[in-house]
Amino acid sequence: MVKFALKYGSTEVSFEVPDENFAGTLEVRDVPGCANPVGEIKRSIRNPIGSPPLHVVMRGKRDAVIVVNDHTRDTRTREILAALLGELDEIGFPSRDITIIFGCGTHRKVKDDEAKAILGEDVWSKYEWVSHDCDGNLTFLGETSFGNRIYINSLVAEADAKILTGDITFHYYAGYTGGRKSILPGVSARETILFNHAMMLHPAARSGVLDGNPVHLDMTEAARLAKPDFIVNVVQNTKGEIVRAFSGDLEAAFMEGVKLVDSLYKAESEPADIIILSAGGYPKDIDFYQAHKALDNVIPMVKDGGCVIFLAECRDGVGNQVFYEWMKEKLSIDEMEKRLKSNFKMGGHKAYYLAKALEKVKIFMLSSLPAEELENVFNVTPIESVEDGLRKALETIGKNAKIKVVPHGAAILASIKKK
C-alpha cells in the first residue's frame, strides 16, 4: 500500500492506495521558499522590470493606494507590505497618505479579523484600509476594444499613485492571476466584471493561456486605462512560501512571473481512471466556489467515464448563491451556455464548468457540505472518507483501475502527455 496525507481545510486526511492500482502522483515542481521573503521582495522593488525605480515613480506623488488580495487568496500580503511600505517609508512617503484597498471584485467585504490576519496587526492598526465595493462609488475610465465599459473604485481612480500587489498562479479562464487582475476584477464595477467574465466561453479562455484569450486581453486594456504606476507580484510554492518576486511594469513584470509559474506548475501525465484530488487545503477549499478551480485543473487527465475523489472542506459553504441555484435548477449545458451569453451571472459559470466535468466523470466528494446538498443539488456523491470513495470508485470502474494522486489541485495545470 502507498500512504498519503493530503490537505483538507486546516488539517490533513491520511489514506492508502493499493500498490497494484497506484499509477503515480501528479505533483508540482515544489521548490523551497526564500530564506528571507521580505528581502526578496525588496530586491525586486529595487530592481524593477520595465519600470523606473520606485523612488522615481513616487516622485511628486501626493497620495497612494495599494491594492491587495482579499480573504479568498492565500497571498503572502504581510511580507509584500512589509517590503513595500518599508521602501515607501525609506523614500519619505508619509504613511498617512497611503490607503490599502482589498480587491474584492464581486466577493463580500473583508471582515475586520480577516483584515488583521491578512495585513498583520501593525499595518492593520496604522494604515487606512477599505474593502472594494463593486456596487459602490465608481469612476468611468473608458471602453476597451471589446466594448467593455470600465468603471473602477473611485479611490483608486483618483489616487495620485496606484500600486498593485498579488500572486501569480493559474486561473481557469483568465489564464493566470496577478498583474492586471488587481484592477479587473479586483477594484472594478459589477457590470464591468460581468461583461469581462462573460467571455469565458471563448475557446482561448483557458487556464495557462494568454494568447488570444479575450478575458485576459480585456483585463489588460482595463488595467492600462487605470494607469497603475507599479506592481509587486509574487510566485509562491505549495506551502504558500514566496519563491520569487516580480516588481515594476504592469505587463513586463507580470509576464516574467508567468514564465516561472509555467516552469513550476505545468505537468503532463498519462490519463488515469481515478484521481484522488485535494484542492490544497484552506483557503483554497474555503468554499465550493473556490475549491472548484482544482477540479477544473485536473479534469483533462481523467479518462472519460472515470472518477474523481475530491477533498475540499468548504467551511464557508457553497460560496455563491447563483452557483447553487443553477445547479439546483438542473439546467442542461446548452441552457447554461445560452444564459451565460445573454445575461452573464457570476456563479453561473461555475455551474457550467461543473456540469461539463460531470458529463465526463463521476465525482465523489469529502466535504463539510451537507450530504443531501452535494447529492441532490450538485450531482456529486458524498463520501465519509477517502477509503469510502476508493471503494465506490473501484466498484464503478473495476478492480484494475489505475489511480493517480494530485495533492495540490488548485496550483497544478494538468495536460495529457504527448506521445
In this model, does residue 328 exceed pLDDT 80? Answer: yes
Q: What is the mean pLDDT of residues 282-308?
A: 93
Residue-level pLDDT at 411: 84
Q: What is the mean pLDDT of residues 231-255?
A: 96
**Residue count (the chain):** 419
Domain chopping of the chain, boundaries: 2-30+265-416, 37-236
Share of the chain above pLDDT 70, in %: 100
Residue-level pLDDT at 97: 96
Q: What is the pLDDT of residues 353-364, one digit of tens each?
A: 999 999 999 999
Q: What is the mean pLDDT of residues 240-252?
A: 97
The residues facing 162 across adjacent strands are: 65
Q: What is the pLDDT of residues 179-216, one digit of tens each?
A: 999 999 999 999 999 999 999 989 999 989 999 999 99
How large is the angle between the packed helices 190-197 and 214-226, nearest 10 degrees? 150
Q: What is the mean pLDDT of residues 228-241?
A: 94
Residue-level pLDDT at 252: 98
End-to-end CA distance of the chain: 30
| Mean per-residue pLDDT of the chain | 94
Residue-level pLDDT at 223: 98
Does residue 283 have a cis peptide bond before it, meaning omega lies within 30 degrees of 0? yes
pLDDT band per the 50, 70, 90 thresholds, residue 419: low
Q: What is the pLDDT of residues 213-224, one digit of tens each?
A: 999 999 999 999
Q: What is the mean pLDDT of residues 331-349?
A: 88
Window from 11-25, 107-121, 182-196, 249-263 with minimum mean pLDDT: 107-121
Q: What is the mean pLDDT of residues 128-152?
A: 97
pTM of the predicted structure, to 2 decimals: 0.83
Range among 44-53, 286-295, 335-344 rated most confident: 44-53
Tell me whether strands 149-153 and 161-167 are parallel, antiparallel or unpaired. unpaired
With respect to CATH, is domain 2-30+265-416 assigned 3.40.640.10? no
Residue 404 CB contacts under 8 Å (≥ 6 apart), including other chains: 23, 24, 25, 26, 269, 272, 274, 275, 276, 301
Residue-level pLDDT at 72: 78
Q: What is the mean pLDDT of residues 409-416?
A: 86
Q: What is the pLDDT of residues 27-64, one digit of tens each?
A: 888 799 999 999 999 999 999 999 999 999 999 999 99
Collapse the DSSP code of 162 into the 3-class scheme (helix H, G, I; strand E, B; otherwise coil) and give the result.
strand
Residue-level pLDDT at 251: 98
Residue-level pLDDT at 401: 96
Residue 365 CB contacts under 8 Å (≥ 6 apart), including other chains: 309, 310, 312, 374, 380, 381, 382, 383
> How far from the centroid of its chain's Cα atoms is residue 314's Cα?
15
Q: What is the pLDDT of residues 76-119, one digit of tens each?
A: 999 999 999 999 999 999 999 999 999 999 888 999 999 999 99
| Strand residue runs (E) in 107-220 | 128-131, 138-143, 149-153, 161-167, 170-171, 175-176
Give the fold, CATH level 3, of 37-236: Rossmann fold (3.40.50)
